[in-house]
Amino acid sequence: MNRPCIYALLHWAKVCLVLLLIPGLIWGGIAALSCLRHRNARNTYVSTTCQVVNYVKIQHYCVDCTLFHCTTHQCFDEQILVTYAVNNKSYESYVITKESRIARRKKLQKGADHDCYYHKEDVGLAIFDLPDHESPLIVVYIITGTICLLIFVIITTLLYIQFQAFNTRNHGGKKQARVDEEDLLYFCGVDAERFVAERICAECDHLKLKYNVISAPGQEHRPNVIVTAGNGPSKFLFVGHIDTVNVEDETQWSLPPFGGMIDEKTQRMIGRGACDNKGGIVCALYTLYLLQQRIDQEKLNISIQLACVVDEESGACSSIGVRYLLDKKLISGDGAIYVYPGVNVTIGHRGLLRLAIDVIGENVHTGSIEWNTKKKGANAVTALARILVALEDYPWENDKNPSFPNLTLTVTPGTIVNGGGFVSVVPSHASAMIDIRLMPSTSVDHVLQKIEDIVTSIVNERNEFYRRMALDSSPSIRLSASITIKNQLPAATIDSNHPLVYSCVQAVEKILHVTPTTDGCGPANEGYMLIESGIPTICGFGPIGGNVHGVDEWVSVPSLAQTVDVYFDIVSSYCHLFQ
């Protein structure tokens, strides 16, 4: 059973314990008080022999109702006049019972003797049956036993988890790094970054690694975590982000996207963020654990850092994650690895430009004469559609770069489109997002100018169309458009012959027995921030994974431990630590 399943079991066990414990304690307390009260009541009576003087049985009907139905049955009220002797004195008393289902005293006859009890303080009060104190006592025993059993089950389960953790961490007599990515995936929701950060801190406490929790002003609910091995100046830096993109439809996933569960057949851990980017963070964390031991053994005056940052998925240009830590000079190194998935050595990434195009038209009822004759109205949606198609059809420059084989400048119009307000109204507003991937040699100004030319041309064309259709000789300006830059970051790369690249390739060949490629990647990331800050950075290298941002995102479980070994070898070689 994997950890999320055990956590779920423990969670529901605790819920059941609370649900049973509180009512059980109340019920048991009432039963115990009833038992005590009845026992005390029994002690106030003395046994004697009663003689029946008169016996009257009154028959009638009673109704018993449950949640679903009611039933009618015969009942009997009994009035029994008895005499009995106390201290050589004779007493008479009425013994009355109500609503008996059967005639319990049907054998009573005048003059017959029966066991009975009289009250010590009121000898004129007699009863046939003493109060029952055993049934409430049985209830107390049952409730106490049930609560003890639940507590035993929960304690046993906790001990089992601890035993499994001990075996995993000390397997084979060696201190092994146990990769707990399941825990990191288990957290989701509005405050997911905070919960993941807390889990990382808890693991650092277990591994005896130093860490600092750093938040940008006003962003205390989105904390970055800096983990450090060693005490001297920072020689190397790992970076990974703890936020994830949304899950649109959980029903499409083969396993719960935030369950951190393992497909036993493929040995893949399925979950949002499994490989982007929590798998790499776990590998880097345990690499620091191993490096800490070696640094202590060699008594080296260096440190290695891991920055677990927030807000990368918003567009890799956030001011509260990597940028904030760099500006505050809290992270540094002679080299860095951004722990994205894949065994190929990513030496750079393309740039990113995201634009919003807004088109403003003119509202009018679609059934009106004004729209029929085009005297009024201008359709913002159709104008925007023509702009998007024109941008897609334009032959953009085929910028190439040897570090980015098979990649060029890519313009994708209409990744998000909005427009219109009601089915019978000509749309007066439409907007769309344009996603542009930049090569190192791409001129952003040239791209923006061309997009502006296309937008202006189509807006003018549509305004001319409305003027002609309305047979209006005067200029008609019903449509307008604007372009807004929403996100911009540059392409970045390091030389494919850089010593850090060489150390990565050597480590992969040595441990994984494959020769990785050394190319730039298509998606943008925060590697440019590190490179611009003077830190040579591998913009992506980590465990094997797939379906990034897609359904059934996964990371290979066996590759996690392998990646720890590769990371350890890279840092040792590049920083010349253990010669």
* Pure H helices in 170-229: 181-186, 192-207
Instruction: Report the CATH number that the domain containing residue 390 is assigned in CATH.
Output: 3.30.70.360
- The predicted structure's pLDDT at residue 520: 95
Same domain as 485, residue 507 = no
Q: Is residue 78 part of a domain?
A: no
Q: How far apart are CA 193 and CA 47, in angstroms?
A: 74
- The predicted structure's pLDDT at residue 139: 62
Q: Is residue 242 part of a domain?
A: yes
What does pLDDT average to over the chain? 84
Instruction: Report the CATH number that the domain containing residue 555 is assigned in CATH.
Output: 3.40.630.10
pLDDT, greater one: 44 or 319: 319
Of 456, 474, 489, the domain-final residue: 489
Of 454, 474, 489, the domain-final residue: 489
Average pLDDT over residues 333-360: 96
pLDDT digits (tens, 9 = 90+) for 405-431: 999 999 999 999 999 999 999 999 999
Using alpha carbons, list the distances in angstroms from residue 170 to 176, 286, 288, 527.
Answer: 6, 14, 18, 36
Same domain as 501, residue 467 = no
Of 489, 517, 533, the domain-final residue: 489
Residue 48 has pLDDT above 70, yes or no: yes
- The predicted structure's pLDDT at residue 170: 42
Same domain as 326, residue 474 = no
HSE toward the beta carbon, residue 360, CA cutoff 13 A: 6
% of the chain surpassing 70 pLDDT:
80
Same domain as 298, residue 160 = yes
For 345-378, letters b (16+ CB in 10 Å) and e give: bbbbbbbbbbbebbbbbbbbeeeeeebeebbbbb
Number of structural domains found in the chain: 2
Average pLDDT over residues 64-70: 64
- Confidence bin at 496 (pLDDT 50/70/90): very high
Q: Is residue 264 part of a domain?
A: yes
Nearest by Cα to 227 from 289, 313, 278: 289
Same domain as 296, residue 222 = yes
Answer whether 0.85 is exceeded by the pTM. no
pLDDT, greater one: 470 or 93: 470
3-class state of residue 270 by DSSP: strand
Q: Is residue 79 part of a domain?
A: no
Nearest by Cα to 134 from 12, 38, 207, 63: 38
- The predicted structure's pLDDT at residue 259: 84
- The predicted structure's pLDDT at residue 20: 60
Residue linked to tokens 């590190």: 530
**Residue 531 neighbours by CB distance under 10 Å:** 20
- The predicted structure's pLDDT at residue 270: 93
- The predicted structure's pLDDT at residue 430: 97
Same domain as 564, residue 476 = no
Residue 130 has pLDDT above 80, yes or no: no
Same domain as 497, residue 467 = no
- Domain carrying residue 399: 351-489
Same domain as 314, residue 226 = yes
Average pLDDT over residues 357-364: 96
pLDDT digits (tens, 9 = 90+) for 9-43: 555 666 666 666 666 667 666 666 666 666 677 77
- The predicted structure's pLDDT at residue 190: 41
Same domain as 465, residue 373 = yes
Q: Is residue 57 part of a domain?
A: no
Same domain as 303, residue 194 = yes
Same domain as 359, residue 340 = no
Q: Is residue 21 part of a domain?
A: no
Q: How far apart are CA 118 and CA 98, in angstroms?
A: 19
Q: Is residue 90 part of a domain?
A: no
pLDDT digits (tens, 9 = 90+) for 200-220: 999 999 999 999 999 999 999
Average pLDDT over residues 353-370: 96
Residue 101 has pLDDT above 70, yes or no: no
Q: Is residue 417 part of a domain?
A: yes
Surface-to-core class of residue 514, CB atoms within 10 Å of its CB (0-12 exposed, 13-18 middle, 19+ buried): exposed
- Residues 353, 391 contacting (CB under 8 angstroms): no
Same domain as 485, residue 362 = yes
- The predicted structure's pLDDT at residue 136: 58
Q: Which two structure tokens, joined as six digits, stand for 60?
A: 């009638």
Residue 518 has pLDDT above 80, yes or no: yes
